[in-house]
Amino acid sequence: MHYETITVRRIAGALGAEIEGVDLSRVLAEETLGEIRRALLDHQVIFFHDQHLTPEQHIAFGRRFGALNIHDFVAGMAEYPEIIEVRKEPEDRVNFGGDWHTDVSYLECPALGSILYAKEVPAYGGDTLFASQYMAYETLSDGMKRMLGGLRAVHTASHIYGRRAGYFRDGGSMRVSHRAEAESETVHPVVRTHPETGRKALYVNRGFTVRFDGMTAEESAPLLSYLFEHAVRPEFTCRFRWENGSIAFWDNRCVQHYALNDYHGQRRLMHRVTINGDRPV
């Protein structure tokens, strides 16, 4: 793909590209913003280095792509509720996002994308993995595609943010609440057609998908387990090494991600905004 205002360099075969030649702290011209959006659609996750954003600038950049999400169960910053501080202190053992998932897929209108900005990274570790759900779908057999095309799946936040969930009850530094509202369920197609690219993507994830609609959890488990493993095969992934001032912007409609928890005893602080989807799946 040819770009006029930015430089785009692929980093892996499946997905991912680094973007150069743009300062996200500035108010971007429509042409530049359009090319960033096209790069996101082309590469599914895009990365920027050496950025220096105030919270206001981070929010402003996110809003160029849509309204921002206020998380139901994770408190945002006091003055900037749109920004979640993804924080792990040296004494913490659990990290936020430490399993394969798609952000807030339990919502009726799941997120368009997320923009994560590195404020303080450990000397080693703390990378993030991303997996293309286009490839996860496209590499399935024709028979499996036909079967999945008629299925819908139940998504819920209950086992992470519900009243009986154990996530972050060990004194971690994230401000997570466990409430009855997390017990609610939403049903989405197992195969999602991307509203902008028209490509089909697998849309189940270990973090929030619990069963197929109309089936029990026990009946659903064998096929869901296979899909969870298939969706994140190594050849579908890229791995990003963070630096202070790095930004990752991923498309939640076709990407899963996984924050590695391999830096115990070190501090990691990130700021995240999430862009709302504009329609149900």
Spatial separation of the C-alpha atoms in residues 74 and 239, rounded to whole Å: 25
Spatial separation of the C-alpha atoms in residues 149 and 270, rounded to whole Å: 37
Q: Is the pTM above the cut of 0.95? A: yes
Instruction: Give the number of residues written for the chain.
Output: 281
Give the range of the structural domain holding residue 171, as residue numbers without chain letter.
7-275
Which one from 58, 71, 87, 101 is the annotated catalytic residue? 101
Q: Does residue 204 form part of some domain?
A: yes
101 is catalytic: yes
* Overall domain count for the chain: 1
CATH number at residue 197: 3.60.130.10
Joined together, the tokens standing for residue 13 give: 């075969």
Q: How crowded is residue 279: how many other Cβ atoms within 10 Å of its Cβ?
A: 9
Q: Name residue, tokens 């950049």.
A: 61
Query: What's the order of all strands across the beta sheet hosting 237-240?
Result: 237-240, 128-132, 255-259
Q: Does residue 77 form part of some domain?
A: yes
257 is catalytic: yes
75-109 pLDDT tens trace: 999 999 999 999 999 999 999 999 999 999 999 99
The alpha helices in 44-180, defined as continuous H runs, are: 55-63, 133-138, 142-149, 158-161
Q: Does residue 1 form part of some domain?
A: no
Q: What's the pLDDT at 172? A: 76
Q: Do 52 and 245 touch, CB atoms closer than 8 A?
A: yes
Q: Does residue 280 form part of some domain?
A: no
Spatial separation of the C-alpha atoms in residues 204 and 152, rounded to whole Å: 9
Joined together, the tokens standing for residue 45 give: 């996750």
Structural element, H or E, at residue 52: none
The answer, yes or no, to whether residue 1 has pLDDT greater than 80, is: no
Q: Does residue 230 form part of some domain?
A: yes
Q: Does residue 123 form part of some domain?
A: yes
Q: E strands of the chain, at which residues? A: 7-10, 17-20, 45-48, 84-88, 113-120, 128-132, 152-156, 185-189, 191-193, 200-202, 209-212, 237-240, 247-251, 255-259, 268-275
103 is catalytic: yes
188 is catalytic: no
Q: Does residue 2 form part of some domain?
A: no
Which one from 178, 192, 211, 272 is the annotated catalytic residue? 272
Q: Does residue 217 form part of some domain?
A: yes
Joined together, the tokens standing for residue 78 give: 């006091």
220-254 pLDDT tens trace: 999 999 999 999 999 999 999 999 999 999 999 99
Q: Do 80 and 267 touch, CB atoms closer than 8 A?
A: no
Which one from 103, 211, 251, 268 is the annotated catalytic residue? 103
Q: DSSP 3-state assignment of 136?
A: helix
Which one from 43, 87, 192, 257 is the annotated catalytic residue? 257
- What percent of the chain shows pLDDT beyond 70? 98
168-213 pLDDT tens trace: 666 578 889 888 899 999 999 999 999 999 999 999 999 999 999 9
